[in-house]
Every structure is written in C-alpha cells, then in structure tokens.
C-alpha cells in the first residue's frame, strides 16, 4: 500500500539552531505510527511543522506528500492550506483549552463541515453520535463538559472535514487513565471505519506499544530508531530505545532497582558533536563523540533502522537483568506511626466531598501507596496529613509527639515550582535542616545523599534540570529527619528516563534513613515499584486496600479492576 502521508528531509529550525534534524516518516491508510520521545525530542515540533503551526521565529524545511500531492514545508501555513484540515487534521493534548470557551460545541464542530446549511444540524448530530456523545452536547458550552467529553467533541471537530490523516499530539496525556483508554479505543474504531491514518505523538511507551503499528523514536531532535512496534520494543538496537523501554516501570513485578539512563535530557539548543546520545550512553566510545551516526536501513523494505555505531545485538537487547524482591505480606503494620480515622473534607457545599470517611494507617518504616485518578481525594488526604489543609471531621493521630517539621514532609509533583526561585539550593536546604533541629552545615552531605554535586549549593533552582530540582526537593524534605515522607506524584512531570532514577532514589532513601513513605500517585506501575501496601481511592472514598502484590494478582473492587485494566501496554 502507498503511504497517505510521507515526509522527507524534515528540518525544523529555531532561533538557536535546528530543533528537528533530517527526519523522514511515512504512514499508510488505516495504520498507526507512533512518534515517541521525551521533552526536547522534537516530536511536538514535528506535528506543528506538518500542520503549519510553528511559532514565529521557527521554520521548517523538507517536503510532505499527502495522498500523492507534494508540498514544500518551507511554505508554512500558506503552502499547507490545501491539505490542512481537509486531509490532515490535528488533535491537541489539553481538551480544556482546545475549544473556544464562548462558543457552543455544535457550531465548533460545524465550522468545517462540508454540507448544505439546512443539513448542518443533522450532520452535527450524526458526528456527535459517531464519538458516542448525545445530541444535547451540540447546544452546550465546553466548560459544561468533563475532560473526556471535551476531547470527544474536539475529536469530532477535527474529523469534521473527513481528513485522511489524524495527528494526535499527546491526545490523552491530560486525561485520567480510564478515560484515556476510552478515547484511544474510540480513535481506533474511527480509524477502522474511515480507513484513516493516525500519527500518535506520545512520551508514553506503553501507549505506543498498545496502539501503534510502527514506532519512531526521537531524541534531541534526531530520529534514533524506527521499526514495527513489536520488533522495535522486543529487540531495540539503539541503546536509548532500550533504556527508554527498560526505565518504564513494569506493573506485573517489583524490581529491586529500576534500570535507568544516567544524566538528563539535553535542552533543545544543546548540540554535542557526534552522537546526541553519547553523553548518556554506556557504549559510547571516541567515534561516537566525533561522528554523528546516520539512520541506516537494515531489512528489505527499509522500515527497521537505527542511528548508532554500536547497536545492541539480539541478546543484549532482549534481556533485562533484574533482581526481584520477595513478596510482602498482607495486613496492618505492627507499629503504627500515624492513623487517620473517619476523615471528611468538603470544599464547596454543592460539590461532592473530597474526602468521605477515609481511614488509613502508615506504620514506621513502611511504604504505603494511595492510588487514584484526579478528583479521587488523594492529594487532599496528603495535604491534611501535612497540616496544610484541615479536616471537617475525623482524626489524625501521631504515635510520637514530635515537632511538626519532624513528623511529615512532602515532595510535590512539579519540581520547578517546589523550590523558591529566589533562594539558593544551599539556603533552602540549610533552612530545612534548621527547621528540624539539625546542623545546617550538613548541606553538602545532604546533596551527596540525593546524588547531586556539592557545588550545586550555590546555584539557584532555575539553573537545574527537572530531575535535579526534584532531587533537591527530596533532599529538603528529608533534611529535618521526618518520620514520614509524603510524595505527591513525585515523578509525573519528569521524563521517563529520569523517572526511574527518582524512584530508585526514593527506595534507597527509605532503606538508608528508615523513613516511612506515603506515595500518592495515579500511576499503578510507579506505585508497584515503591510501595508494599496500597489504598485505592475513588471519589473521596477508599474502595480497596491491601498488599500491592495481592491487588495486582487479584483486584476485588470493580473500580480497582477497571483501573488495572486501563494501564496501557500491558
């Protein structure tokens, strides 16, 4: 079959140099191509170049052929006008901002429908039905709909002009896991019905594994490997692909230590000579640091290809050496540290409660998880435990009567706002040490503990990468020697290759310092790697709790089952 979309020699060039360097890609009708990469990989810029949406100061080069018509990408929006919408359409990440807030959904879908005026209403109704939405949505405003419904409206709108290719830029990242699955299932069905090609841009290898026929891996603006999904993920040739695959935490088993890629993702304008991945690659030698490898095809049709001087062979690529931990036992902790009983909290009288009769226990030195989707109340629970939020009803009892700073400390999701931008790292850590009655001269030791160079004490947060900032946030949280370390989505906003490093660090710290850990997360696989016992929350209630091993093997509650079933790629 001939590709419906074929891009050759794509360059995206920004003010500081190339953002995407020489990428080729093609997708056939009805098939799905995933472009996988971390931040700064150039995957989103690729989508923007193909839809003529590059920001000012950034331009593209290369050609795109859609359904046989070849266009010059350097022409930008004007050159793409003929295909934009009509043949190639786009679905964005955030359903909360991708629709005009002051226009009803119906007209927004109708804007690109090619039907006679008097048939518009019927057609809108038909299009809504196609994405499993009721007729009344047409006369509703986007803010009246849930995130999942909005993304369905957006999908209907982007399909209104019946495109041959749909490009989805992280189309489900902003959604809850259960909703994610529904939306992706819907796209798959529409793809089948329409014979439409789908270019799925994602950071999530699990989603790619489950949905794509073919995968492209991008790193720092370069295409580093491509191939059919199963083959590429089964026997990756490029060390980065293998690293990315292995640092994605598994759900079925708990690893003693997650494989991870050292260092952090280079910023878009940092261009080392030679192979872009060399600074983080164990196999790199002199040649890698001087010569940049090009993408070389290997099989007859040229689909499987990688850009590496020292590709992994079958054996190295296929096997991950892991140590599995022994299963933990069920039941309550022997020595409770903090007990929450019958906690209730409601923020607005006309909204459902954030906490509805929640009781949990965290024992000394224990790792406990609270798992749930957005709106489940898990973050409110954490904040109440820290004393950042009060309870309407219920009790929080601490076994030991210690000062606030030494009871519990917290690590937040977004490391960039977790540190005071006006304070140096050293000052922030010194303050935390003093708050716990510790000697403030222990800052260097604290930095070493979280794996950061001592001179970082003089820096400000801005000069650090996301992963490094999160290490500092963790150091600050453990500085006062708290009994419990609460981590609220500690890795959700980090790149996959950095996530594994942070999860390993949390496990190490727990062992070394004898901390109890309370991990708040939406990600079951992340919880799996860290916690022994877990509480599953749904709409302010704990619906199920028990040993993680038991829950993975046999979830009891209907919601827990649904949650486990939604985890992508497994």
Partner 1 sequence: MASRLGRGTLGRFVMVRLAATVVLLLALSFVVFALLYLAPGDPARNLLGPRNPSPELLAAIRAEYHLDDPFVTQYVRWIGDVVRGDLGTSIRSEIAVTSLLADRVVLTAELAIMAFVITLVVAVPLGVRAAWRAGSVFDRTVSLASIVGVGAPSYAVGLLLLYLLGVRFQLFPVYGIGDGGLDQLWHLVLPAVTLAIGIGALVFKLTRTAVLGELEQDYVAFARARGLSEGAVRRLVLRNALIPVVTSGGLVFAFLFGGTILVEVTFALPGIGGLLAGSVTFKDIPVVQAITLLTATVIALTALAVDIVTYTIDPRVRARGLR
Partner 2 sequence: MTARRQLTPVVAAIPLVIVAVFAAASNWLAPDARVQDILTGVTPPGTAGHLFGTDTNGRDIAQLAIAGARTAVVGPVVIALGSMCIGLVLGTVAGYLGGAVDLALSKYADLLLALPTTLIALVVAGLVDGGYWVTVAVLVVLFSPTDIRMVRGAVISQSTRPYVESAKALGLGRVRIMFRHIVPNVLPVAFTTMLLNVAFALVAVSALSFLGLGVGPGEPDWGRQLSDARDLLGRNWAAAVVPGVLIIVTAAAINLLGDWAQERFERRGSGR
The residue within the footprint of partner 1, chosen from 4, 5, 25, 99 (CB under 8 A), is 99
The residue within the footprint of partner 2, chosen from 420, 492, 556, 561 (CB under 8 A), is 420
Q: Which is nearer to partner 2, 158 or 413 (CB)?
A: 413
**Rounded distance, CA 48 to CA 263, Å?**
28
Residue 203 token pair: 């950071």
Contact between 161 and partner 1 by CB under 8 A: the answer reads yes
Alpha-carbon torsion angle 299, 301, 306, 307, nearest 10: 110
Q: Which is nearer to partner 1, 171 or 490 (CB)?
A: 171
Q: How far is the CB of 464 from partner 2 (least distance, A)?
A: 11
Could you tell me whether strands 533-538 and 32-36 are parallel, antiparallel, or unpaired per DSSP bridges?
A: unpaired
Contact between 160 and partner 1 by CB under 8 A: the answer reads yes
Q: Under DSSP, is residue 308 helix (H, G, I), strand (E, B) or coil?
A: coil
Following DSSP, what letter does each residue of 225-274 receive, concatenated? EEEEHHHHHHS--SHHHHHHHHHS--SS--BSS----SS-PPPTT---SS
The interface partner of residue 226, options being partner 2, partner 1, none and the CB cut-off 5 to 8 Å by kind, is none
Strand order in the sheet with 355-363: 355-363, 336-345, 393-398
**Rounded distance, CA 383 to CA 488, Å?**
9
**Rounded distance, CA 454 to CA 426, Å?**
9
The interface partner of residue 129, options being partner 2, partner 1, none and the CB cut-off 5 to 8 Å by kind, is none
Contact between 534 and partner 1 by CB under 8 A: the answer reads no
Contact between 135 and partner 1 by CB under 8 A: the answer reads no
The interface partner of residue 59, options being partner 1, partner 2, none and the CB cut-off 5 to 8 Å by kind, is none
The interface partner of residue 181, options being partner 2, partner 1, none and the CB cut-off 5 to 8 Å by kind, is none
Contact between 338 and partner 2 by CB under 8 A: the answer reads no
Contact between 430 and partner 2 by CB under 8 A: the answer reads no
Q: CB under 8 A: which stretch of 76-84, 216-224, 288-296, 403-411 binds partner 1?
A: 76-84
Following DSSP, what letter does each residue of 92-145 receive, concatenated? -S-TTTSS-TTS-HHHHHHTT--S-GGGHHHHHHHHHHHTT--GGGGGS-GGGS
Contact between 151 and partner 1 by CB under 8 A: the answer reads no
The interface partner of residue 480, options being partner 2, partner 1, none and the CB cut-off 5 to 8 Å by kind, is partner 2
The closest alpha carbon to 29, from 223, 301, 213, belongs to: 213
Contact between 144 and partner 1 by CB under 8 A: the answer reads yes
Q: Which is nearer to partner 2, 149 or 382 (CB)?
A: 382
Q: How far is the CB of 164 from partner 1 (least distance, A)?
A: 13
Q: How would you classify residue 389: left for phi > 0, otherwise alpha for psi between -120 and 50, otherwise beta? A: beta
The residue within the footprint of partner 2, chosen from 124, 405, 525, 531 (CB under 8 A), is 405
The residue within the footprint of partner 2, chosen from 97, 417, 492, 556 (CB under 8 A), is 417
Residues 468-507 interacting with partner 2 (rule: CB under 8 A): 473, 476-477, 480
Q: Which is nearer to partner 1, 13 or 551 (CB)?
A: 13
Contact between 113 and partner 1 by CB under 8 A: the answer reads no
Give the relative orientation of helices 466-478 and 496-513 as an angle to the nearest 10 degrees: 20
The interface partner of residue 101, options being partner 1, partner 2, none and the CB cut-off 5 to 8 Å by kind, is partner 1
| Bridge partners, residue 89, by sequence | 166
**Rounded distance, CA 508 to CA 485, Å?**
13
Q: Which is nearer to partner 1, 162 or 414 (CB)?
A: 162
**Rounded distance, CA 32 to CA 208, Å?**
9
The interface partner of residue 388, options being partner 2, partner 1, none and the CB cut-off 5 to 8 Å by kind, is partner 2
**Rounded distance, CA 565 to CA 7, Å?**
36
Contact between 17 and partner 2 by CB under 8 A: the answer reads no
The interface partner of residue 53, options being partner 1, partner 2, none and the CB cut-off 5 to 8 Å by kind, is partner 1
Contact between 419 and partner 2 by CB under 8 A: the answer reads yes
**Rounded distance, CA 530 to CA 524, Å?**
10
Following DSSP, what letter does each residue of 386-435 receive, concatenated? HTSS--SEEEEEESS---HHHHEEEE-S-HHHHS-TTS-HHHHHHHHHHH
The residue within the footprint of partner 2, chosen from 288, 410, 506, 548 (CB under 8 A), is 410
The closest alpha carbon to 343, from 385, 285, 295, belongs to: 385
Residue 403 token pair: 């000062």
Residues 55-74 interacting with partner 1 (rule: CB under 8 A): 56
Could you tell me whether strands 197-202 and 32-36 are parallel, antiparallel, or unpaired per DSSP bridges?
A: parallel
Contact between 77 and partner 1 by CB under 8 A: the answer reads yes
The residue within the footprint of partner 1, chosen from 1, 68, 102, 441 (CB under 8 A), is 102
Q: Which is nearer to partner 1, 168 or 311 (CB)?
A: 168
The interface partner of residue 520, options being partner 2, partner 1, none and the CB cut-off 5 to 8 Å by kind, is none
Residue 96 burial class via C-beta count within 10 angstroms: exposed 0-12, middle 13-18, buried 19 and up: middle
Q: Which is nearer to partner 2, 2 or 420 (CB)?
A: 420
Chain residues in the site for partner 1 (CB under 8 A) = 51-53, 56, 77, 81, 84-86, 89-90, 92, 94, 97-103, 111-112, 139, 141, 143-144, 154, 157-158, 160-161
Chain residues in the site for partner 2 (CB under 8 A) = 383, 386-388, 403-405, 408-410, 412-414, 416-423, 431-432, 435-436, 462, 473, 476-477, 480
């Amino acid at each position: 079959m001939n590709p419906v979309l074929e891009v050759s020699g794509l360059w995206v060039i920004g003010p500081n140099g190339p953002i995407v360097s020489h990428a080729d890609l093609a997708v056939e009708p009805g098939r799905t191509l995933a472009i996988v990469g971390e931040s700064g990989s150039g995957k989103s810029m690729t989508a923007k170049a193909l839809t003529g949406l590059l920001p000012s100061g950034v331009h593209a080069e290369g050609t795109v052929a859609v359904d046989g018509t070849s266009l010059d990408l350097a022409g930008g929006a004007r050159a793409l006008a003929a295909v934009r919408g009509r043949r190639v359409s786009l679905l964005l990440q955030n359903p909360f901002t991708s629709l005009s807030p002051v226009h009803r959904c119906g007209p927004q879908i109708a804007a690109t429908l090619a039907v006679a005026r008097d048939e518009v209403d019927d057609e809108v109704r038909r299009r809504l039905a196609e994405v499993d939405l009721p007729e009344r949505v047409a006369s509703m405003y986007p803010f009246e709909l849930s995130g999942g419904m909005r993304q369905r409206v957006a999908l209907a709108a982007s399909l209104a002009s019946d495109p041959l290719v749909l490009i989805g830029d992280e189309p489900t990242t902003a959604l809850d896991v259960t909703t994610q699955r529904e939306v992706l299932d819907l796209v798959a069905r529409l793809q089948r019905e329409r014979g439409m090609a789908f270019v799925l841009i994602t950071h999530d290898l699990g989603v790619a594994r489950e949905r794509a026929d073919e995968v492209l891996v991008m790193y720092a603006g370069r295409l580093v490997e491509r191939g059919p999904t199963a083959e590429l993920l089964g026997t990756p040739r490029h060390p980065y692909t293998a690293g990315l695959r292995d640092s994605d935490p598994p759900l079925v088993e708990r690893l003693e230590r997650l494989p991870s890629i050292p260092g952090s993702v280079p910023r878009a304008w940092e261009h080392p000579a030679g192979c872009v991945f060399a600074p983080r690659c164990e196999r790199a030698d002199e040649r890698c640091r001087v010569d940049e490898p090009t993408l070389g095809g290997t099989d007859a049709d040229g689909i499987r290809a990688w850009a590496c001087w020292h590709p992994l062979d079958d054996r190295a690529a296929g096997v991950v050496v892991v140590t599995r931990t022994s299963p933990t036992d069920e039941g309550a902790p022997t020595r409770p540290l903090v007990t929450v009983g019958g906690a209730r909290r409601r923020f607005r009288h006309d909204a459902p409660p954030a906490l509805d009769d929640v009781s949990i226990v965290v024992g000394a030195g224990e790792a406990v998880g609270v798992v749930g989707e957005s709106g489940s109340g898990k973050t409110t629970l954490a904040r109440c435990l820290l004393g950042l939020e009060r309870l309407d009803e219920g009790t929080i009892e601490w076994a030991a009567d210690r000062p606030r700073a030494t009871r519990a400390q917290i690590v937040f999701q977004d490391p960039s706002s977790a540190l005071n931008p006006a304070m140096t790292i050293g000052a922030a850590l010194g303050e935390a040490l003093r708050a716990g009655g510790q000697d403030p001269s222990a800052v260097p030791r604290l930095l070493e503990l979280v794996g950061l160079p001592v001179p970082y004490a003089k820096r400000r947060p801005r000069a650090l990468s996301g992963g490094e900032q999160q290490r500092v946030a963790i150091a600050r949280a453990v500085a006062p020697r708290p009994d419990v370390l609460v981590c609220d989505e500690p890795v959700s906003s980090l790149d996959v290759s950095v996530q594994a490093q942070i999860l390993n660090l949390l496990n190490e710290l727990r062992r070394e310092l004898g901390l109890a850990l309370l991990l708040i997360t939406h990600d079951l696989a992340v919880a799996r790697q860290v916690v022994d016992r877990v509480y599953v929350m749904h709409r302010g209630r704990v619906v199920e709790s028990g040993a993680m091993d038991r829950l993975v093997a046999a979830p009891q509650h209907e919601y827990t089952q649904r949650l486990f079933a939604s985890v992508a790629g497994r």
